[in-house]
């Protein structure tokens, strides 16, 4: 129990669980969206004539900040895939144990594709993969949380986040074609999922579990 690479965390249920140092690193990747947002905001401020409200995140790939933004996309995508590995280990054999990490992985792959393919139609395809997969993660988690009393309120939060994200993406599409703050709407859509992921990672690192089987086993020890 005193292995150096393990940390004992206390849950609200009043018993202790263990997470390896590796697992904590995988879960910390859930905060990667915050870093991604911080980086592209700085790059947007540095890029000549870039409008935070008008221009999309991908528009930075056509400015002097192109290399930096493509690196930002790549790192973010890799960290999304890393979080998928952490979620797979957390879910173990629970509901959504395969689908949730798979959708999360696809989301990361789509973002990496945004770094590789900067021109349409491939860039648009990667955007669709990234956003649609993110929505599927939210919907699947809402289904998974629905019967888990330990995660009270999270089914509704996940569903509301998905619906809000879809509404903002629809508004983004309209503004992109008709004129308006398309860039701002895109960033707001992405930020809803970013906040959700950060809150989820924080809750897990704080000691919450997704795997009921492991908690039951620990209670009987």
Q: Residue 69's closest CA among 99, 45, 98?
A: 45
Mention every residue, 6+ apart, whose C-beta is less than 8 A from residue 177: none
Task: Check whether 216 has a pLDDT greater than 60.
Answer: no
User: Using 50, 70 and 90 to split pLDDT, how confident is the model at 10?
Assistant: very low
Which pLDDT value is given to residue 213? 56
Kindly state the percentage of the chain with pLDDT values over 90.
Answer: 71
Which pLDDT value is given to residue 140? 94
| DSSP symbol at 22 | H
What pTM does this model have? 0.84
**Diameter over CA atoms, the chain:** 62
Beta strands, E only, the chain? 6-10, 16-20
d(CA 16, CA 174): 50
């Amino acid at each position: 129990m005193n292995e150096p690479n393990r940390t004992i965390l206390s849950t609200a249920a009043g018993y202790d669980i263990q997470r390896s140092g590796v697992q904590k690193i995988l879960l910390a990747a859930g905060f990667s969206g915050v870093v991604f947002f911080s980086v592209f905001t700085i790059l947007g401020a540095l890029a000549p004539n870039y409008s935070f409200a008008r221009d999309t995140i991908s528009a930075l790939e056509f400015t002097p900040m192109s290399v930096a933004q493509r690196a930002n996309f790549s790192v973010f995508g890799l960290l999304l895939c890393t979080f998928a590995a952490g979620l797979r280990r957390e879910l173990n054999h629970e509901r959504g144990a395969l689908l949730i990490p798979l959708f999360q992985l696809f989301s990361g792959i789509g973002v990496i594709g945004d770094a590789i393919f900067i021109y349409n139609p491939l860039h648009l395809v990667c955007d669709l993969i990234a956003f649609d997969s993110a929505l599927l993660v939210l919907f699947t988690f809402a289904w998974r949380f629905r019967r888990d009393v330990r995660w009270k309120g999270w089914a509704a939060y996940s569903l509301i986040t998905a619906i809000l994200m879809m509404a903002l993406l629809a508004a983004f599409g309209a503004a992109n074609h008709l004129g308006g703050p398309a860039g701002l709407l895109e960033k707001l859509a992405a930020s809803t999922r970013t906040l959700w992921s950060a809150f989820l990672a924080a809750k897990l690192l704080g000691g919450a579990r997704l795997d009921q089987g492991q908690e039951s086993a620990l209670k009987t020890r």
